[in-house]
Every structure is written in C-alpha cells, then in structure tokens.
Amino acid sequence: MTAAQQSPATSNPTHPLNVIVATDCGSTTTKAILIEKVGNEYRQTYRGEAPTTVEAPFEDVTRGVLNAIAEIEELSGRTILDGDRIITPNQAAQGDPKRGVDIYVSTSSAGGGLQMMVTGVVQNMTGESAQRAALGAGAIVIDVLASNDGRLPYEKIERIRTMRPDMILMSGGTDGGAVTHVVEMAEYIAAAEPRPRFGSTYRLPLVYAGNKDAQPQVNKILGEKTALEFADNIRPVLERENLAPARNKIHDLFLEHVMQQAPGYKKLIEMADAPIMPTPAAVGVIMETIAKREGINLIGVDIGGATTDVFSVFGGLFNRTVSANLGMSYSISNVLAEAGLDNIMRWVPFTIDEQTLRNRIKNKMVRPTTIPQSLDELQIEHAIAREALRLALIHHKSLATGLKGVQQERTISDVFEQRTSGKTLIDLLKLDLIVGSGGILSHAPRRIQSMLMMVDAYEPLGVTTLSVDSIFMMPHLGVLSTVNEQAATDVFVRDCMVYLGTCIAPIGQGKDGERCADYEVALPDGHIEKGTLAFGDLKLFSLTREQHATVTLQPSKQVDLGEGPGQSFTRTVTGGVVGLMLDGRGRPLQLPTEQAARVAMLTRWYNAVGLYPKGS
Amino acid sequence: MAHSYTPGLTVTERTTVRRRRILPLPGSVLVQVGDAVRADTAVARAELPGKVVPLNLANQLGIAPDEINDYLVKKEKDSVQKDDVLAENKPFIKWFKTEIRSPITGKVESVSTITGQILLREPPRVLELRGYIDGVVAEVHPEQGVTVESTCSLVQGIFGIGGETSGELVMGVKAPDQPLLPEQLNASMKGKVVVGGAFLSAATMARAKELGIVGLVVGGIHDKDLRALLGYDLGVAITGTEQVGFTLILTEGFGTIPMAPKTFALLSAHAGQKASISGATQIRAGVIRPEIIIPHSGPAAATKVAQTEREGIQLGDPVRVIRDPLFGKIGAVSGLPSELRAIPTESEVRVLEVRFPDGTTTVVPRANIEVIEGA
C-alpha cells in the first residue's frame, strides 16, 4: 500500500519542504511534532499535545489539532496558526522564516479508529485473507463471519445487525468457482440492514472482493442497501492472496465515507496537504520501509492504552494484527482476564496478595490516566506489559501465516514430517529487529526496562537487536514518508529510533547455574571479556550503537545458537543505549513456580542488569 | 500539557442536566417541547425490525435454486402465519408431496433464485423509550428522540454496572466510612436506591437482590466480588447492559474506600427523595460516568443554573488522590510547582502538593489526582 495508490485529498506542494508539522489524532491525545530542515538533514525539533476533541462537547477533531499545534508554537516561538488556519508555505522567502510551515500531514485513530466487519466463505481461508486485508489497511476487525463459522444463519444476521461497523469487507470464493455461498452471505447482510457507526443518513460502505463472477448478484442484492464498491478478488486462486486492491479500496472509502462522518474530519481533510491515514496503516508503512531498506526481518509493536498493534515483516511479507483489548490503561483489566493472575505475578519481584493486586488493576482501569508513583506500582505495570506483549504476539503469530488450504508438494523427505499448510511466518530465530512503541516502552524511566520487557515477552532466539520509538512519532513519519521519504527517513534514523542494544539468547534449557555457553566478547577498546554464561545468568556489556563487538560463544552440547546444538558461534554486533545483553536464562524461558524462589530469581536478574533503583 | 487537567467527578447540590433520549433507529416522538415528563414517561417509540429466519427451500425440496419460484405458495412480501405452507412440490403421486411450512408468523422478506433461500421476518417489536429523569422536554429531535432537562442534585460515580432505574433514596449507613452490611438491608427497601459507606460485600449484594433493591451506591467493592456478581472478569470499563438484579454505583473505586464526605452529605440530605440512577460507564474518549440524579421539584426547579467551566487546577481545589499509595485520600491543593520533579519510579513528572484534613502535606503526580467538581 502506498499513498500514491490512494486518491490524494490535495495535490503535493511544489515549494521546497523545510518545515513540516504532523499530527496524530489518537483516541485520547492528539500529538503534534515539528520537523525542520537543519543543514542538509531533517530533524524533529518540537512536540506538543492536547486532548483529542472528537467527542462532545467539542465534537470537532480539529480543535485538538489546533491546541496541539498551539503548544508547538509556544515552545518553538514559531507562528504556525492564523486563527483556525495553518499558515502554508513557510514565509522564509518573504524574510520571515519563523512564520508558517511548508506542509501539514496527519494520521488518525480517533473515535475508535476504523472498525470493520469482514466476511468470507471458509473461515480459515477467505475469512482469514479478508481479515489480513482489513488489518493491513489499519482497521480493527470486530468480527469475521464465514459460511462455516458454526453460527446459525439467524445468528449471523443478528450479529451483523447488532454490530455497527464503519465498513464491511466481503470475500469468498475463487474466481470462476461457485457463487452460492458468497451470494448467501450477501443475502444475510442485506437482511440485517447494517447501519454505520457514525451518522444515520448515509449508507454503509461495503467492499466486495470475492469471486468476481458473483459481482452482478451481489450488486443486485446490496447495491441499493449499501455504498457498494468492487475490488479484485483477495483470493483469486487458492494458492495466491491478492490483498493490495482491497486494502486500497478500504483506504479510499475510509477517506470518502467514514472520515466524512466523524466530527470535524471534513475540516481536517481540508487542512491536511496529504491524505489522512489511519494511524496503524501509517505505522505499517514505516515498518515496511525499515525492513525493506535494511533487508531484515522485524517485529514492531505499539502497545497503547486500549489496544496493542503488532506488525511483522518476514521474508518481505508484511502482516499486522491488532489485539483490540490488550492495553495498559483502558484495557489493563482485560490483560489480567486473558493472561490470568499467575502469569502476571510471575514477573513481579515481591509478594502481594491477590485481592490487593486485583483492586489496583481495576483502579487503573477506571482511572486510566494515572501513572505509577511508587516503584512497586511501576514493577506491577511492567509485569502486566510483559503479558500484554506476549499475548499480542501469540495473536499475531496465529494470523501472520502462510495460506491455509493450499495443496503442498511433498517429496520422500517429507514423509516423516507432517507439516500442515498455514504455518506461522514468525520465526524468532530469523528475527533481526524488534521495534517497540507506546507509552510503557517509550517512557520507561530506564531504557533497560523497555529492553527487558520486550525480551521477556517475546523470548527472542539467537541474535536480535531491540529499539524503541523515542516519543511516539512513527505514525507521523509513516504518513510523511508518503510525501517526502527523505524527511521521514532522516527523522526516523536520527530522532525516532532509539537503539537499545542487542540480545543474544541461546536456545536450550538447563539447571540454574549449569554451564550454558562459554563466551568471548572482543570490545571496541581492544579489551576481551571472557567467561562462562551459566543457565539463569543475564550479563550486560556497555556497547553503543556506533560501536561494534565480536562475540564468540561455545555453547554446551544441548544448547543451540542457530548453528546447531553445541556448535560454536561468532558474530559482530552493535549495541545501543543499553548495550549488549547475553541472556542465559534458557529458551523457552522458565520461572520457578514456588513464590520465594521466583522472587529470588527475578531479583537476581533485575539486579544483574540494573533494572530498578537499588534498594528496591 | 498546557491545556489539560484531570477531569474530576461532579458532586453538586444544584445543577441543570440535559439528557438526550435517542431511539436506536428512527421512530416517532410522543412528547412536545415544554412537556413535563417523569422518569417512567414514554417519550418516543420505534419499531425494531423482527428477527430474520432463513430457510433453504431448494435443499428441502430437492430442486435447483433457480426453480424455486415454481414451487412457492407464498411470494415475496406476503404475510405468513406459523405453519402456513410456504412452498410445495407437485408430485404425480400425492403420497410423495413435500410441504415446507413457515416456522414463524411474519412475512416473506426475500426469495433468492441463486441460493434457493427464502428469508422470513418476524413482526416488528415496539420499543418505548422512557424519560429517565423527571424534568421538562427541552428539545425534540424529529423521529429520533428528545432532550430532557432537569434542575437537580448530581453525583457522578467512578464506575457502575447495570442500566437506568429510579427509586427513593435511602441511607443504609450512618457514616461514610461504614461498610454496608447485609443485616442493614430490609424488606422496606424494595424498589429503592440504598446508599452505603466505604464498602459492600458479596453477601450484601446477594441480600439486595433478594429484597428487590433497585440500586446500590457505595464507596468501593472488591474486584473479586464484582467478578462473582457478573460471572466473568470484566476486561474493559464499558458497562450499562448488565442484568444482575440492581444497578451498582461506586463513588470512589475498588477496595474499601470511605465515600467522600461531600458525596455522603449530599445523598444524606436527599434521603427520602426520588433519584434516577444509571450504572452505564464508558471509560474511553467521550467518557460516560455512572450518575445519581435527584430532580428538584417546585418553582425553583425552573430556574436554570449557570454552568461554570473549569480552567485548570487551582490552589485550594478539593482533590482526591486516585493512585496508590495514598489512594482514596481527600485533601486540598496547597502547592502547584511548575517544574518537573523526580518521583520514586525515577520518572520526571509534573506534581502538585496536597494538604490533608489532618494538616499533613504530600507531593503527588498531577496525573494521580482528581478534582472533586461541583459547587
């Protein structure tokens, strides 16, 4: 998906881009950043934020945008606004470089983002393809209906009626195949007379991207009841997925219909000099760009208050999922419900009774904007974040898969291997980079806290680099990259990405204290650190992003670093603000079940890397 | 953030509230601007479309989908009674005759020659929308509903479950720090809204349900009791549709937390009066708080109360600490330092100083206090 494929709201500006203002209208906060060209490169210079104003009493998203930009004006001394208008272009040519900006771009997830319902014929084939298409377009999928989803027809109709999506994506059938099932689904949708979430006067946008032979019938059934648009089949043949046309159509309809209904968006679209993108779609663009530019596999995560988005690019294939109810404030209680108390408690380095913990989590849910004041509260939030991250990745793995239902060629060598189709694409051993974003990761008091949260949640294998988004500006850069790739790349490299460091984690398990591997780390100053990494050890070496170290590990017989059990391993790695971490805790990571032993183990790990202030 | 502050909960003796009463789909409005309405007055009515029942006639008759029109007895838009014949085949031998009968009373919505399916729809269900509060119709939204306005006392809670109801306000305890015990509830409280103090247990909730109490208002409860009441662990604070036998409103939070004295005093002053309450909570952007509305009657009720808009936190403002370790404590703002301060987590945040009634002061992150709003 690229912006070039979208229908632009306005034409690209012809003047040079030296000053850029970008906003992201989130569900609670609108964040604005200012980017300025300093010498030959673009830098992010100021940042402002204000509450989002989609809801009553303001019901105009642009109020929050103007407030956030006004904060930038205060901080930077630059005049950007003339009443309710953004001054463009910058007035440097008129001798007033501190007046105006050259371009304004924005993303949005306000008002709950883009909520979609998708339909398919076979749940784990066209149903999943439709889900992937919608997720990739930045939507939250509120339900997947399929002919074989186990629900009775009247239950499906009731479900369609009670949900109030912003848009429906219909898929089903391969081109030239049977039309009956997909037409049947169209009949259910027509009978349910679905109504859009915002506004009662316009017809619900519906993208049909199923068997093209059924288009005339679908048009007959739904043409008058919905704002129907056709896109190429997302599964033209069983063996191939074709998601881009449906995604682009979703973006067009998002701008043309959905955004027009949300309060103040007409004004916002007019204010912006490039099409408004759904926030997750913009983050997806950035993730794809990094993976492509560096030729790497990556996982990106944006853990917010209400939802956690996971993005991955493996072997060039992009996937995104959103775990709609895993988050650190509004949805914090749901993390407890889904993960269970024991899974959260296993990361807490002290004892606390269940009732107190449960009450504290619920109190955070009802007062989501509060922040941990004491260290134990911070540690509890970090424990919950680990579980939210872990669960969101499990969800992602289940959807980021190869195509299901595809016939596979088997050779004699496959006789003993019962591989099924639809295997997950996420291979942690092939993972090069984890990018973290969202308040709990971006604003952790110590960067090592972000690093260890992600390592504990994802349990990366072998060598993996970790980074965080410094102040949550990936959405801004995502939409900016569709207008000016250089500006987005400059800011991304210099101001957005904070490289935390590299984690090296051998695969295998052993008793606490047993030898896991012998290591030799040749540090940039010529010094060589040698020693034994025992099971249960965490070792941290100071190494910056600009520095290189050569690491040699000789694992014990049953331990693997990707080269095979017991095989020696040498790799040159870079560091980051945290450094180089050797993780000898074993994979899969196991924690003692007995409480005192668990607390002792956690305390040892946390002290080894200086996770929290001493004496905690 | 220059423009924001932590919005608090309103607890006020006198205010004017406007509540939009909107139908889920277009219908007819039954009242006019200026009409006096009561909580149980029907203000608007709509017909909810009936359930749809699909039947695959082609499969049941063993024919091709495009042939079904030849077999239909009832056509599109025809009314049908339960057990009416919808379609039948015409065999040479009567013995082999198959009749497909309607499982419902309603009408034939559509017939598809592609899928061989017939869709039947049950008759519409009438939905009447109530006034919810005693007041005056301030605005009519044609075909959609009305806005009812009332001069009242208003208490906003932090969290609730259950929908709208109304009943006489009764004090179950004598002081805001007392728990509401099962033995304090009795049969005379049936149909009423009972106010507790710091806490109520699962046993009290069970007793309230047994007695037919319509509403409970209390400082706090334990999360485990909420889970037991609902039968599941509530993940997201979006509530209002639960049916647990009563509407529950927490004024402070989870745990044993004395009700704010101002809230308790206000509710006590109105004991014996009728209150409209709603447990609906939505803690997202566009927050919905549970509420207790006690409409004022008499001529004074007609005078509107000017709504003041808060500019930000100011010295002397009454505040509630809303995060551990001082969760639930109530005091007044005694200092507003502008610079960032490091807190024990090592985060540098904006803080304020709170003076408690015993004269002690403490420094709290601004994000962790809530202004107690309302004059």
- Chain B residues near residue A49 by CB distance under 8 angstroms: 1
Could you give the maximum distance between any two Cα atoms of chain A, in Å? 76
Judge if A118 and A94 occupy the same domain: no
Q: What does the pLDDT average to over A292-308?
A: 90
Domain count, chain A: 3
Interface touch B343/A373, C-beta < 8 Å: yes
- Residues in A closer than 8 angstroms to B365, CB to CB, are 370-371, 373
Report, in this order, helix, strand and coil percent for chain A, each rounded to 5: 35, 25, 40
Of A28, A158, A363, the CB nearest to B327: A363
Which of A84, A110, A136 is at the close of a domain? A110
Q: Does B233 touch chain A (CB under 8 A)?
A: yes
Task: Please check the confidence at residue B19 and state whether its pLDDT lies above 80.
Answer: yes
Asked if A438 and A328 touch (Cβ cutoff 8 Å), the reply is: yes
B161 vs A368, B178, B189, B278, CA distance in Å?
18, 22, 20, 8
Contact status, residue A62 vs residue A264, Cβ threshold 8 Å:
yes
CA distance A276 to B254: 40
Within this chain, do residues A157 and A242 fall inside the same structural domain, yes or no? yes
- Residue A193 confidence (pLDDT): 81
Q: Using the beta-carbon criterion (under 8 Å), do A367 and B226 form an inter-chain contact?
A: no
Sheet holding A462-469, edge to edge: A317-323, A308-314, A298-303, A433-437, A462-469, A497-505, A579-583, A538-541
According to DSSP, the β-strands at B318-321 and B193-195 are unpaired
Which residues between 297 and 336 in chain A have a beta carbon less than 8 angstroms from any beta carbon of chain B?
306, 325, 330-331, 333-334, 336
Q: Is A458 in the same domain as A570?
A: yes
Residue A482 has pLDDT above 50, yes or no: yes
Using the 3D structure, point to which of A79, A94, A110 is the last residue of a domain: A110
Average pLDDT, integer, range A13-25: 86
Task: Please check the confidence at residue A492 and state whether its pLDDT lies above 80.
Answer: yes
Give the span between the Cα atoms of A250 and A138, in whole angstroms: 9
Q: How far B93 CA sits from the closest chain A CA (Å)?
A: 32
Residue A352 touches chain B, beta carbons under 8 Å: no
Q: Give yes or no: residues A105 and A117 share one domain.
A: no
Could you give the ipTM of this predicted complex?
0.87
Same domain, A131 and A74: no
| Shortest alpha-carbon distance between residue A212 and chain B (Å) | 15
What residues of chain A lie within 8 A of the CB of B284, using their CB?
27-28, 112, 306, 330
How many beta-carbon contacts under 8 Å exist across A and B? Answer: 178
B4 to chain A: which residues are within 8 Å by CB? 50-51
Q: Do B325 and A184 touch (CB under 8 A)?
A: no
> Are the C-beta atoms of A238 and A405 separated by less than 8 Å?
yes
Element (H, E) at A251: helix A244-253
Q: What is the DSSP string of B283-341?
A: -SSS-B--EEEEE--SGGGGS--PPP---S--TT-EEEE-STTSTT-EEEEEE---SEE
Note whether A446 contacts B: Cβ–Cβ < 8 A.
Answer: yes
Q: Is the CB of A55 less than 8 angstroms away from the CB of B365?
A: no
User: Domains of chain B by range and CATH?
Assistant: 9-16+151-302 (3.50.30), 52-121 (2.40.50), 318-373 (2.30.30)
Residue B14 backbone zone (phi > 0: left; psi -120 to 50: alpha; other: beta): beta
Q: Determine the pLDDT at residue A212.
A: 94
* Residues on chain B touching A67 (C-beta within 8 angstroms): 3
Looking at residue A537, what is its pLDDT? 95
Residues A60 and A121 in one domain: no
- The reply to whether A201 falls in a domain is yes
State yes or no: pLDDT of A4 exceeds 50. Answer: no
pLDDT at residue B299 tops 70: no
Residue type present at position A70:
A
Q: Where are the alpha helices (DSSP H) in A368-473?
A: 375-399, 439-442, 447-458
Other C-beta atoms closer than 10 Å to the C-beta of B92 total 6
Same domain? For A446 and A514 the reply is: yes
Conformation bin of residue B266: beta by default, left when phi > 0, alpha when psi is -120 to 50: alpha
State whether residue A191 sits within 8 Å of chain B by CB: yes
Q: Cβ separation of A367 and B370 shorter than 8 Å?
A: yes
**Residues of A with Cβ-Cβ distance to B324 under 8 angstroms:** 360, 363, 373-374, 377
The answer on pLDDT for A324 being more than 70 is yes
Interchain contact, B110 vs A183, CB within 8 Å = no
Query: Is residue A332 situated within a structural domain?
Result: no
Q: pLDDT digits over B190-208, tens only? A: 999 999 999 999 999 999 9
Query: Could you tell me which of A469, A437, A431 has the C-alpha nearest to residue A299?
Result: A431
Domain assignment present for residue A604? The answer is: yes
Distance of CA A376 to the CA centre of its chain: 28
Tell me the CA distances in angstroms from B89 to B10, B99, B109, one per residue in order.
69, 7, 21
Q: Quote the minimal CA–CA distance from B312 to chain A in Å.
A: 14
**B256's tokens:** 């044993």
Q: What tokens does B26 get?
A: 């277009």
AA identity, residue A492: F
pTM: 0.85
Residues 78-97 of B with CB under 8 A from A: none
Selected for mutation to probe chain A from B4, B159, B223 (highest A CB count within 10 Å) is: B223
Would an 8 Å CB–CB cutoff place B142 in contact with chain A? no
pLDDT band of B3, cuts 50, 70, 90:
very low
CA distances from B185 to B255, B263, B278 (A): 21, 21, 21
Q: Is A354 on the interface with B (CB under 8 A)?
A: yes
pLDDT tier at A5, thresholds 50, 70, 90: very low
Q: Which of B26, B236, B344 sits opposite A331 (nearest CB)?
A: B236
Cβ–Cβ gap B110/A188 under 8 Å: no
- b/e per residue B222-245 (b: at least 16 CB within 10 A): bbebbbebeeebbbbbebbebebb
Q: Which of residues 376-405 of A touch B (CB under 8 A)?
A: 377-378
Q: Which residues of A touch B49 (CB under 8 A)?
A: 193
* Cβ neighbours of residue A327 closer than 8 Å, sequence gap 6 or more: A303, A304, A305, A306, A307, A308, A334, A335, A388
- Regarding predicted confidence, which is higher, A422 or B246? B246
CATH number of A42's domain: 3.30.420
Residues A438 and A584 in one domain: yes
Whether residue A200 has pLDDT greater than 70: no
Gap from A351 CA to chain B (nearest CA, Å): 16
Q: How big is the CA angle at A23 (ends A17 and A26), to the nearest 5 degrees?
A: 160
- Cis? peptide before B325, omega within 30° of 0: yes
Q: Distances from the Cα of A596 to the Cαs of A298, A600, A606, A610, in angstroms?
A: 37, 6, 15, 21
Answer yes or no: is A536 within a domain: yes
Stretch 102-121 of chain B: residues touching chain A, C-beta under 8 Å: 109-110, 112, 114-115, 117, 119, 121
Residues A580 and A451 in one domain: yes
Cβ–Cβ of B324/A446 closer than 8 Å?
A: no
Q: Do residues A54 and A136 both lie within one domain?
A: no
DSSP calls for A135-183: HHTTEEEEEEEETTSS--HHHHHHHHHH---SEEEE--S-TTS--HHHH
Tell me what pLDDT residue B185 has.
96
Out of A319-333, A489-503, A504-518, pick the least confident.
Answer: A319-333
List alpha helices for B161-222, DSSP H. 202-211
The answer to whether A373 contacts B224, with C-beta atoms less than 8 Å apart, is no
- Considering only alpha carbons, which residue of chain B is nearest residue A218? B114
- pLDDT exceeds cutoff 70 at B6: no
| Residue B267 Cα, gap to closest chain A Cα (Å) | 22
Query: What's the pLDDT at B375?
Result: 54
When the pLDDT of each residue in chain A is averaged and rounded to a whole number, the result is 88
Q: Are A27 and A113 in contact (CB under 8 A)?
A: yes
Q: Please say if the pLDDT value at position B158 is more than 70.
A: yes
User: pLDDT digit string (tens) for A548-565?
Assistant: 999 999 999 999 998 999
Q: Mark yes or no for CB contact B237/A52 under 8 Å.
A: no
Q: Is B358 on the interface with A (CB under 8 A)?
A: no
For A93, the token pair is 């040519």
Residue A403, in any domain of the structure = no
Pick from B267, B65, B191: nearest CA to A184: B65
For the ranges A372-376, A452-456, B108-112, the one whose mean pLDDT is highest? A452-456
Q: Does residue A400 lie in a domain region?
A: no
Q: Is the pLDDT of residue A36 over 60?
A: yes
- CB nearest A27 (choices: B285, B343, B347): B285
CATH number at residue A177: 3.40.50.2300
Partner-chain contact A613 B346, CB within 8 Å: yes
With cut-offs at 50, 70 and 90, classify the pLDDT of residue B229. very high
CA–CA separation, A72 and A6 (whole Å):
30
| Cβ–Cβ gap A445/B347 under 8 Å | yes
Side by side, which strands form the sheet with A277-278? A41-51, A29-38, A19-25, A103-108, A277-278
Would an 8 Å CB–CB cutoff place B202 in contact with chain A? no
Contact B312, B5 (CB under 8 A): yes
For A545, which DSSP code? T
* A452 domain-assigned: yes
Torsion sign across C-alpha atoms B343, B348, B349, B351: positive
Gap between the Cα atoms of A181 and A119, Å rounded: 11
- pLDDT confidence band for A568 (50 / 70 / 90): very high
| Judgement on whether residues A106 and A137 belong to the same structural domain of the protein | no
Residue A592 in this model has a pLDDT that exceeds 70: yes
Indicate whether A310 and A451 sit together in one domain. yes
Nearest chain B residue (CA) to A191: B52
Within 10 A of B348 (CB to CB), how many other CB atoms are there?
12
Report the pLDDT averaged over residues A495-500.
94
Per-residue model confidence as pLDDT tens digits over A213-245: 999 999 999 999 899 999 999 999 888 888 889
| Element of type H or E holding A607 | helix A595-608
pLDDT of residue A3: 37
Residue B226: the pLDDT is: 95
Which one of A183, A363, A443 has the shortest CB-CB distance to B254?
Answer: A363
Q: Which member of B3, B121, B324 has the closest CB to residue A50?
A: B3
Classify residue A524: in a domain, yes or no. yes
Range of the domain at A558: 298-322+429-608
Say whether residue B323 is in contact with chain A using an 8 A CB cutoff. Answer: yes
Question: Which positions 68-87 of A are in contact with B (Cβ < 8 Å)?
Answer: 70-71, 74
B362 to chain A, closest Cα gap in Å: 12
Share of chain B above pLDDT 70, in %: 93
Share of chain A above pLDDT 90, in %: 57
Q: Which residue of B has its CA nearest to A365?
A: B237
User: Which chain B residues are Cβ-neighbours of A52 within 8 angstroms?
Assistant: 285
Question: Mean pLDDT throughout A453-476?
Answer: 94
